Amino acid sequence: MTIQVSKEGEYVTVRLPKLFGFSVRSEFKQATGNNPTGTKYKLDFQEVERMDSSALGMLLLLRETSGGITSDILIVNSRPEIRKLLQLANFHTLFNIL
């Protein structure tokens, strides 16, 4: 699966692939890079089985380009092991993980 983007209400939903990492960096940038500051994102992690450190960097860059502290980014449908990784990296303080 590749990254899929759709508009659902006020959120841009980005469905991520099984391996969320360096190999999809340009695709992730294309999916999120053309939206204005203040765009609300819902990142669907349902398919994500593994992610690497570059994925964490992509999430931080997305947060910065979508408004920094005031950004509205939801991380949804994450598996327990992915959720644990995000919490270990303290991403639960930067993103809304549902």
11-42 pLDDT tens trace: 999 999 999 999 999 999 999 988 899 999 99
User: Which residues does 34 contact at the CB level (< 8 Å), separation at least 6?
Assistant: none
Residue carrying the six token digits 């349902």: 46
pLDDT tens, position by position, 33-81: 888 999 999 999 999 999 999 999 999 999 999 999 999 999 999 999 9
Q: Can you name the CATH fold of 4-97? A: Transcription Regulator spoIIAA (3.30.750)
Q: What is the pLDDT of residue 34?
A: 87
Q: What is the pLDDT of residue 8?
A: 86
Structural domain boundaries in the chain: 4-97
| Overall pTM surpassing 0.85 (yes/no) | yes
| Amino acid in position 14 | V
Can you tell me the mean pLDDT for 79-85? 97
Distances (CA, A) of 91 to 1, 30, 40: 25, 23, 17
